[in-house]
Chain A
């Protein structure tokens, strides 16, 4: 199968790159080993101080509304963190004290929402708190299974019965000027958080829960749908194993599902993430990048990979692959001509691009621009190399 660009990794970086390239008229494919880190997305784009116009447009066209409001956001454990750019349903405040009195509402038996931690955190900021629990008959089925009270399952039910929740909250509300609810609304129906806000006569703040993150899943679904509507081919549940490379030019990749049906393309983007998503592999002796064998920046001494204190900054979380100024991946010191690396596989090797979501988006746009600037890769004779000459890189 031949595409203009093949993107390995279907997370935030891969999707942003894919959507941008499809919009520019390219035919692309994304290969993704299962669902991705957007499922644990907090909803705030760290290290992005403002939304690049481009990003705003892309997200809006996908049906995702962003808000830019420098300040702080309320974290699930009751702390506050500086944020500026986030999804629309995440509450951002100019100061931590966003109300006088707060009603915190949770569902009976839902352990992934930390009402007591939230209350303590808010009280520390001078707000008075009251915690109440909802016990809706529609949730009986969820309560039967010992492990079913999790965010996604609740969100599915909420998409149908959110109006009931609004009614119950209105009844519970006394003189509070703010209500904190768990972030389990608007999985399929993106309008629900907005409608809940309208229905409750107080400031409504959605606070996060243990993963999976409902806004994260919603974002992923919308981005993936946008990508497919634009004509992109999303190969879900497939894994890139190796590549055919000749003189710095990648001709095709081999995937687990498509086996000897290689994915050929003019350009390739590696967006496979960090250790969790297996973008980087580790054993007691080394850290490697498994698809193309890109050079990885890391400490040879394994003891230097970690800081003994859990809360401290961990060196291994900054390890990433080497790239040149144009984000071409580098193997054995030599840059590939048509392979780009974007997103958290870069680790901390490109500090100017930021980290986390900011890194994913900025590097994705940068790689897309590079690809659109250059025609398909050619060798010195100006002829396209035949795939037969390529050697398999494991």
Chain B
């Protein structure tokens, strides 16, 4: 390379032109004056942190990691990564018990599932919520997701033989939500893929993607999960030549981008084979595959692109897929953050900000008044259902409902 032929810097922070466009689009800054904004927290702050870690600003914990700053940046600076990386490197505060509990979805899930009816009952009681509010600072207004009595993994394992019959095979990274809370989504995916002549396999004991651990100061655990998951993905992708599909936008972003960018876990040999199911199915249909749709199917759908989906740029696939369904009256909701940001919105100190951030989205949903809101992210689903009362379905579930 000739001298200065190109320049590079961590997360491209040197390419920042200080245009402040990122700050104009940060949802947190609009509601929380304690947050310095992405430009200050990211490229500005980085130069000071390089001089002395003392200059690290603990207010960076208010960053939701929604990546909207990156989507807005005209210079291609990975502002959100820069901020999260700084938190991982410099934030010396230990995660509170609450944060550990909220982030340990595998642990909580496998613990709660056998006692699902009891757990579900208890977590919806006012007294439990008040106790969690007082002791753990989990806001009492937040509605907890229900746990399912049976895991998705169990369900699919029981159907291993019938799935193996299909000519074409894919693996499915189901994630915590499908496994512990809502196996129906996984079943919907299997239905659609089977209808396309594709069989579905489990990965060899996947773990939680770790996204909540990254943002809650548990990066060492997250890295363990990352290494484990990449090894498991390799078994499917490299050894078996399979593509791996997902239905959760945040899990997908974490597996594809956060593993190498924030945790230093290389996934180059598996990344390109890791796809959201909507993209995979859209590409199949575009190339000539067909699905038999029910006659008389009608649904008014408002599609909310989750922040992480917007960052990956794959909202277009879910959108186009939904538009392909006959009988669908489709509205694309304005690009906005729902405010929950995973475990962020459960915390008492963030609850108000969380609801204020999502307010514009909730208003638009009420104005559009759809039959259902479509969304690829489970935490968005919890937030929208709780805050508007409208039902939220993953595009895959809508597709499953629309086909014979």
Asked if A and B form a direct contact in the complex, defined as CB atoms under 8 angstroms apart, the reply is: yes
- Assess whether A259 is in contact with B272, with CB atoms less than 8 Å apart: yes
**A83 CB to nearest chain B CB (Å):** 24
**B59 CB to nearest chain A CB (Å):** 9
Which residues from A are CB-within-8-Å of B70?
237
- Assess whether B21 is in contact with A34, with CB atoms less than 8 Å apart: yes
**Once bound together, how far apart are the Cα atoms of A35 and B37, in whole Å?**
17
**B256 CB to nearest chain A CB (Å):** 10
Verify if B40 is at the interface (C-beta below 8 Å from A): yes
Verify if B348 is at the interface (C-beta below 8 Å from A): no
- Assess whether B20 is in contact with A276, with CB atoms less than 8 Å apart: no
Which residues from A are CB-within-8-Å of B73?
33-35
- Assess whether B34 is in contact with A144, with CB atoms less than 8 Å apart: yes
**A202 CB to nearest chain B CB (Å):** 30
**B238 CB to nearest chain A CB (Å):** 18
Verify if B283 is at the interface (C-beta below 8 Å from A): yes
Q: Which residues 321-346 in B have Cβ within 8 Å of A in the complex? A: 332, 335
- Assess whether A35 is in contact with B312, with CB atoms less than 8 Å apart: no
Assess A33 versus B19: contact at CB under 8 Å? Given A147-B36, A153-B30.
no
- Assess whether B72 is in contact with A237, with CB atoms less than 8 Å apart: yes
**Once bound together, how far apart are the Cα atoms of A212 and B23, in whole Å?**
10
- Assess whether A39 is in contact with B24, with CB atoms less than 8 Å apart: yes
**Once bound together, how far apart are the Cα atoms of A9 and B3, in whole Å?**
30
Verify if B2 is at the interface (C-beta below 8 Å from A): yes
**A184 CB to nearest chain B CB (Å):** 12
The segment from A165-173, A190-198, A278-286 that touches chain B is A278-286
In the complex, which residue of chain B has the Cβ closest to the Cβ of A155? B24
- Assess whether B19 is in contact with A39, with CB atoms less than 8 Å apart: yes
In the complex, which residue of chain B has the Cβ closest to the Cβ of A157? B30
Which residues from A are CB-within-8-Å of B314?
257-258
- Assess whether A237 is in contact with B33, with CB atoms less than 8 Å apart: no
**Once bound together, how far apart are the Cα atoms of A259 and B274, in whole Å?**
12
**Once bound together, how far apart are the Cα atoms of A321 and B320, in whole Å?**
34
**Once bound together, how far apart are the Cα atoms of A283 and B7, in whole Å?**
9
Which residues from B are CB-within-8-Å of A370?
none
**Once bound together, how far apart are the Cα atoms of A211 and B20, in whole Å?**
8
Q: Which residues 226-243 in A have Cβ within 8 Å of B in the complex? A: 228, 233, 235-239
Interface size class, chain A: 35 or more
**Once bound together, how far apart are the Cα atoms of A236 and B35, in whole Å?**
25
- Assess whether B335 is in contact with A236, with CB atoms less than 8 Å apart: yes
Option from A37, A217, A233 in Cβ contact (under 8 Å) with B24? A217
Option from A34, A261, A285 in Cβ contact (under 8 Å) with B75? A34
- Assess whether A148 is in contact with B2, with CB atoms less than 8 Å apart: no
- Assess whether B72 is in contact with A35, with CB atoms less than 8 Å apart: yes
- Assess whether A285 is in contact with B36, with CB atoms less than 8 Å apart: no
Assess A260 versus B272: contact at CB under 8 Å? Given A237-B72, A283-B4.
yes
Which residues from B are CB-within-8-Å of A303?
none
- Assess whether A257 is in contact with B33, with CB atoms less than 8 Å apart: no
**Once bound together, how far apart are the Cα atoms of A36 and B71, in whole Å?**
11
- Assess whether B19 is in contact with A237, with CB atoms less than 8 Å apart: no
Verify if A59 is at the interface (C-beta below 8 Å from B): no
**Once bound together, how far apart are the Cα atoms of A238 and B309, in whole Å?**
12
Verify if B264 is at the interface (C-beta below 8 Å from A): no
Q: Which residues 24-49 in B have Cβ within 8 Å of A in the complex? A: 24-25, 29-30, 33-37, 40
- Assess whether B24 is in contact with A34, with CB atoms less than 8 Å apart: no
- Assess whether B316 is in contact with A235, with CB atoms less than 8 Å apart: yes
In the complex, which residue of chain B has the Cβ closest to the Cβ of A142? B33
- Number of interface residues, chain B, beta carbon within 8 A: 40
Which residues from B are CB-within-8-Å of A285?
2, 5
**B55 CB to nearest chain A CB (Å):** 15
Verify if A79 is at the interface (C-beta below 8 Å from B): no
Verify if A1 is at the interface (C-beta below 8 Å from B): yes
**A205 CB to nearest chain B CB (Å):** 24
Verify if A107 is at the interface (C-beta below 8 Å from B): no
**Once bound together, how far apart are the Cα atoms of A145 and B25, in whole Å?**
16
**A22 CB to nearest chain B CB (Å):** 15
- Assess whether A148 is in contact with B29, with CB atoms less than 8 Å apart: yes
Assess A35 versus B74: contact at CB under 8 Å? Given A153-B30, A211-B19, A257-B314.
yes
Verify if A277 is at the interface (C-beta below 8 Å from B): yes
**Once bound together, how far apart are the Cα atoms of A145 and B312, in whole Å?**
31
- Assess whether A283 is in contact with B5, with CB atoms less than 8 Å apart: yes
**B75 CB to nearest chain A CB (Å):** 7
**Once bound together, how far apart are the Cα atoms of A195 and B17, in whole Å?**
35
**Once bound together, how far apart are the Cα atoms of A239 and B311, in whole Å?**
12
- Assess whether B37 is in contact with A148, with CB atoms less than 8 Å apart: yes
**B382 CB to nearest chain A CB (Å):** 25
- Assess whether A233 is in contact with B75, with CB atoms less than 8 Å apart: no
In the complex, which residue of chain A has the Cβ closest to the Cβ of B70? A237
Verify if A65 is at the interface (C-beta below 8 Å from B): no
**Once bound together, how far apart are the Cα atoms of A259 and B34, in whole Å?**
38
In the complex, which residue of chain A has the Cβ closest to the Cβ of B71? A237
Which residues from B are CB-within-8-Å of A141?
33
Verify if A156 is at the interface (C-beta below 8 Å from B): yes
Per-residue B-contact encoding for A308-345, CB less than 8 Å = 1, 0 else: 00000000000000000000000000000000000000
- Assess whether B20 is in contact with A212, with CB atoms less than 8 Å apart: yes
**Once bound together, how far apart are the Cα atoms of A145 and B36, in whole Å?**
7
Verify if B6 is at the interface (C-beta below 8 Å from A): yes
Verify if A249 is at the interface (C-beta below 8 Å from B): no
Option from A237, A277, A278, A283 in Cβ contact (under 8 Å) with B311? A237
Verify if B162 is at the interface (C-beta below 8 Å from A): no
**A18 CB to nearest chain B CB (Å):** 15
- Assess whether B6 is in contact with A237, with CB atoms less than 8 Å apart: no
- Assess whether A34 is in contact with B272, with CB atoms less than 8 Å apart: no
Verify if A152 is at the interface (C-beta below 8 Å from B): yes
Verify if A203 is at the interface (C-beta below 8 Å from B): no
Verify if A350 is at the interface (C-beta below 8 Å from B): no
**Once bound together, how far apart are the Cα atoms of A256 and B23, in whole Å?**
23
**Once bound together, how far apart are the Cα atoms of A284 and B1, in whole Å?**
12
The contact sample of 16 A-B pairs, CB cut-off 8 A, is: A1-B316, A33-B73, A34-B76, A35-B21, A35-B24, A35-B25, A39-B19, A142-B33, A148-B29, A148-B37, A150-B20, A211-B19, A259-B272, A260-B272, A283-B5, A285-B2
Other than the given A33-B74, A150-B23, 4 more pairs (CB < 8 A) read A40-B19, A146-B36, A284-B4, A284-B5
Taking Cβ atoms with an 8 Å cutoff, the residues of B that contact A are 2-6, 17, 19-21, 23-25, 29-30, 33-37, 40, 70-76, 272, 279, 283, 286, 310-314, 316, 320, 332, 335
